[in-house]
Chain A
């Protein structure tokens, strides 16, 4: 109705997107760990 061109995402798209977010969370946790070492 709105002429939008969305398609159902593939499995590679969904899984890769979730894994990428896990990577981001991992980097933040790593940073929090590093700044606490020796405190």
Chain B
């Protein structure tokens, strides 16, 4: 059926039915926008860990790391591991999101700086989540089609995945996303490690692998001159990637709920840090499969087909269905969260702020569901019709860092004001444009230029313009420095926060 053995088809069906049921079960208690967009901040460490893992890990990453490792050897692991050294910092960053007590990152930009910057951030956030969703669905649809030998078209695979995460995601919002991520996280681990014993058996174990693959393929150091399409991985490159990631990660829309949906700050810390740590371990398996494919398929024209080919050729009946389910799980677990995050930005920071301030929560929930649907539809439409989506997506990665400069300025420096924040976003964006499109600099040099320029502009403009209102700053920093659980201190100070 659909190019699958009946056992594989049944396995896949069982997964899809199970995860949809779990999502709908989680949707039962959703009645407010706090429930829908932030899960009422009630989740424990295990759920938060699997949520961060599921949202941050998707099928195309496994496919691309295996492809890079097929081409470069184990050094291909760095295309995901470049963020390895940022992972411990998540322990420091996660409590910020929980302690700010906001629903969206745009809330931060409005509260700390200005409504105009919040609107600009909302536009960026919507573009980011829509394109991410579209690209992930498209990539996974193609891989699923390859595994079934073309019996399932990419369009059909995309339609099924989209329909299912829409069913539970629209009904249950973030709680449904987090509950299903818990199940899907296990499937992603299966996706990562399922192939390893089969490729080892195929190549004659570890020793057979070393006999068939050149020794330099097992080095973690990338070659000096990378093949076309791959960046040169140097010490400076890794350093700048880490710095850029640390600056920009706070501005990615979904991190507000990844850090903020836990019961306390510790839940956010454990989830954010160790969910990503788990991803780094899975990355090891992806790279290993890529290297083993060098022995099995010496001449693949497109290295990114390596993972799909090994899945198709090596997995026995029954496990092909598990692999397909795992691939779908990896993409659904990300898309459901991003869809809710995009909807939160529009409902909270645009619709409720400018169009309909005092409606009952049921009204905002209904609007939120329509917006979530539009976010997914928009992402699919742009992805399927645009030829330069990858280029646009790379633009959103850098845009994240532009907003990240303003975010860090707002958190760490009291003197930073709205004009300084705008200057950081605009100047870093302008320098990025110059260095990327006009001067054609390498990526690491682009990062160095726009980050230093952005921070400098923020400092100079903030110092040359009047400081922000003292009362507003006092309120912001009082909330930020009051640990979760000490909300009585905020009430005593006359400060009300949403969704305590």
Within 8 A of A (CB), among B252-280: 266, 269, 273-274, 277, 280
- Contact check, B220 vs A35: say whether CB atoms are below 8 A apart: yes
Instruction: Give chain B residues whose Cβ lies under 8 Å from the Cβ of A4.
Output: 412-414
- Contact check, A39 vs B218: say whether CB atoms are below 8 A apart: yes
- How many interface residues does B have (CB within 8 Å)? 36
- Contact check, B288 vs A23: say whether CB atoms are below 8 A apart: no
Given A5-B411, A5-B413, A5-B414, answer yes or no on A13-B209 (Cβ-Cβ < 8 Å). no
- Contact check, A16 vs B273: say whether CB atoms are below 8 A apart: yes
- Contact check, B209 vs A38: say whether CB atoms are below 8 A apart: yes
In the complex formed, the residue of A with least CB distance to B269 is: A16
- Contact check, B412 vs A16: say whether CB atoms are below 8 A apart: no
A36 to B210, CA, bound (A): 9
Q: Is B436 an interface residue (CB 8 A)?
A: no
Which of B26-34, B86-94, B168-176 touches A? B86-94
A31 to B65, CA, bound (A): 15
Instruction: Give chain A residues whose Cβ lies under 8 Å from the Cβ of B90.
Output: 20
- Contact check, A31 vs B477: say whether CB atoms are below 8 A apart: no
What's the least CB distance linking B455 to chain A, in Å?
14
- Contact check, B218 vs A27: say whether CB atoms are below 8 A apart: no
What's the least CB distance linking B295 to chain A, in Å?
12
Per-residue 0/1 for A8-38: is the Cβ within 8 Å of any B Cβ (1 yes, 0 no)?
0000110011001101100110111011111
- Contact check, A6 vs B269: say whether CB atoms are below 8 A apart: no
- Contact check, B210 vs A27: say whether CB atoms are below 8 A apart: no
In the complex formed, the residue of A with least CB distance to B477 is: A5
**Secondary structure class of chain B's binding surface, majority of residues:** helix
What's the least CB distance linking A9 to chain B, in Å?
8
Q: Is B386 an interface residue (CB 8 A)?
A: no
- Contact check, B84 vs A27: say whether CB atoms are below 8 A apart: yes
- Contact check, A17 vs B88: say whether CB atoms are below 8 A apart: yes
- Contact check, B87 vs A20: say whether CB atoms are below 8 A apart: yes
- Contact check, A35 vs B74: say whether CB atoms are below 8 A apart: yes
- Chain A interface size range: 20 to 34
A3 to B420, CA, bound (A): 15
- Contact check, A6 vs B207: say whether CB atoms are below 8 A apart: no
A32 to B415, CA, bound (A): 46
What's the least CB distance linking B33 to chain A, in Å?
30
- Contact check, A31 vs B277: say whether CB atoms are below 8 A apart: no
Instruction: Give chain B residues whose Cβ lies under 8 Å from the Cβ of A20.
Output: 87-88, 90-91, 273, 277
B91 in complex: contacting residue of A17, A30, A32, A37, CB < 8 Å:
A17
Given A5-B480, A38-B206, answer yes or no on A27-B280 (Cβ-Cβ < 8 Å). yes
B218 in complex: contacting residue of A2, A28, A35, CB < 8 Å:
A35
Q: Is B345 an interface residue (CB 8 A)?
A: no
Instruction: Give chain A residues whose Cβ lies under 8 Å from the Cβ of B179.
Output: none
- Contact check, A38 vs B210: say whether CB atoms are below 8 A apart: yes
Q: Is B205 an interface residue (CB 8 A)?
A: yes
What's the least CB distance linking B332 to chain A, in Å?
26
- Contact check, B220 vs A32: say whether CB atoms are below 8 A apart: yes
- Contact check, B415 vs A30: say whether CB atoms are below 8 A apart: no
What's the least CB distance linking A29 to chain B, in Å?
11
What's the least CB distance linking A33 to chain B, in Å?
10
- Contact check, A37 vs B413: say whether CB atoms are below 8 A apart: no
A3 in complex: contacting residue of B91, B92, B415, CB < 8 Å:
B415
- Contact check, B85 vs A24: say whether CB atoms are below 8 A apart: yes
What's the least CB distance linking B204 to chain A, in Å?
9
Instruction: Give chain A residues whose Cβ lies under 8 Å from the Cβ of B480.
Output: 5
Instruction: Give chain B residues whose Cβ lies under 8 Å from the Cβ of A27.
Output: 84, 277, 280-281, 284
Q: Is B77 an interface residue (CB 8 A)?
A: yes
- Contact check, B220 vs A31: say whether CB atoms are below 8 A apart: yes
- Contact check, B84 vs A24: say whether CB atoms are below 8 A apart: yes
In the complex formed, the residue of A with least CB distance to B196 is: A34
A5-B412, A24-B87, A35-B74 known, 13 other contacts, Cβ within 8 Å? A3-B413, A7-B481, A13-B91, A17-B92, A24-B85, A24-B88, A24-B277, A24-B280, A27-B277, A37-B206, A38-B206, A39-B210, A39-B218
What 9 A-B pairs have minimum CB-CB distances, sorted nearest first? A38-B206, A20-B88, A38-B207, A3-B414, A3-B415, A35-B218, A37-B206, A16-B91, A21-B88
Give the interface of A toward B (CB within 8 A).
2-7, 12-13, 16-17, 20-21, 23-24, 27-28, 30-32, 34-39
21 pairs, CB–CB < 8 Å, chain A vs chain B: A3-B413, A4-B413, A5-B411, A5-B412, A7-B481, A12-B269, A13-B95, A17-B92, A20-B88, A23-B274, A23-B277, A24-B85, A28-B84, A30-B284, A31-B77, A31-B220, A31-B284, A35-B218, A38-B205, A38-B207, A38-B209
